[in-house]
Amino acid sequence: MERRQTPLVALVDVSAKMGGVEFSTLYLAQRMDRNRFRPLVICPEEGDLPQRCRESGVPVQIVRQPRLLTSSFRLGKRLMPNPLSWIVNLVLFIVIARRIARTVQQAGAALICTKGLFAHFYGGLAARMAGVPCVWHVQDLIANRYGGLYMRLFGMAGRLLADRLIADGTPIQAQWERYLPQHRIHLIYNGVDTEQFSPETDGTAVRAEWGVDQETLLIGNAARLTPWKGQDYLISAFATLAESFPHAALVLIGAPTFDNDAFERHLRELAAPLGKRVIFAGFRWDLPQVLAALDIYAHISVEKDTSPLSIVSAAASGKPILCTAVEGVAELFKHGETALIVPPKDVPTLAEGLRQLLSEAERRKALGSAARRMAEQALSLDQFARACEAVFERSLFERHR
């Protein structure tokens, strides 16, 4: 008897450029249990994500897309909605959806999982056209703009297009509970490879590249350079401690996105008085080695930030973590046990937290070890992949029962 082939899952990503969403796409595709599901990654263009997928043996299909219009425009300092773009984009979504549906049908995919805000729309439409279930993997909070209009539009689309929804943090879960039945929403935190991100990883070469000797205590943050990630507060807090801790330095790993070049210039101006003690490292592919080079990891978002891969990776790397008490981050940790948690936008309290970690080697060691244990128990890539697969199986079962 011919063995039944495992179902093919099409992971429809909104971008080919690597960000948090794209890394989670790559990780899921790599770690998917081939006895349960086979992955196919669909991207809008060539780039880092399809290249990394192919290097890992994950099949990729490029489905070209017309350029979508921005949904808002600036009038002075105000951000205004652009209703014309919504009409145009709806037509473009249908065009893209038809292309993806054709690709999915030709590949024989049994299910579509969408990754990224626009992908939820056209991927969901493609699933309906192809007659297969659709799971939205939502890793972005919907901005509460224009009296909640955006969220209402997404909510209507989700009811129509998503069989099930995966939220990567409780803030996203809470946003969607108004629009979808509870049984269709699944909370699954992001996971990382706890062998790749490990206390055993060597960061010596990275420190040497940055000109940081082994005696220097290196504080690091890995995130997009954008105001809501709070790097300005981190620089300000470090500045208050710099004189007391002459053997400490700060490194910011990441690059600006969209229209945030001005914010990077602001950060560099803030850091200028500290000279070479603040390093702007830019985007890095070698995050395991970069995190291994750090002595302290600081994640200082000022808004909701749902299980960011950088802080999950830092925990798996066994780094002592200082983070802000924002939804989606603080829920991962216990204050004083697996991390130090401080209020957002509070420079004096942030500085005090850094002072404690810089002063107490044993506390750094204890917090780092506890974070590593927590990551192994709750945030591994295998746990993440198995949980996503369970949602896929449930969606397929309901569609075919």
List the domains of the chain with CATH numbers. 8-191+381-400 (3.40.50.2000), 204-378 (3.40.50.2000)
Residues 41, 119: Cα–Cα separation, whole Å: 12
CB-CB contact of 29 with 11 (8 Å): yes
Alpha helices of 278-325 — where are they, by DSSP H? 287-292, 309-316
Residues 109, 112: Cα–Cα separation, whole Å: 7
Record the tokens describing residue 64, joined without a space.
């070209």
pLDDT tens column, 90-137: 889 999 999 999 999 999 999 999 999 899 999 999 999 999 999 999
| pTM for this prediction | 0.89
- What is the reported pLDDT for 259? 60
Record the tokens describing residue 118, joined without a space.
């626009």
Record the tokens describing residue 352, joined without a space.
């005090």
- What is the reported pLDDT for 1? 37
346 by Cβ neighbours in 10 Å (0-12 / 13-18 / 19+) ranks as: middle
Residues 9, 104: Cα–Cα separation, whole Å: 9
CB-CB contact of 135 with 390 (8 Å): no
Residues 6+ apart with CB under 8 A from 287: 197, 222, 253, 310, 313
Give the DSSP H or E segment for 347: helix 347-359
Residues 206, 219: Cα–Cα separation, whole Å: 14
Residues 171, 396: Cα–Cα separation, whole Å: 27
Residues 185, 187: Cα–Cα separation, whole Å: 7
Residues 89, 71: Cα–Cα separation, whole Å: 9
- What is the reported pLDDT for 129? 97
Helix axes 117-130, 149-161, angle to 10 degrees: 30
Rounded to the nearest 10°, the torsion over CA 89, 190, 351, 271 is -50
- The residues of the chain scoring below 50 in pLDDT are 1-3
Residues 382, 361: Cα–Cα separation, whole Å: 32
Amino acid symbol at 150: Y
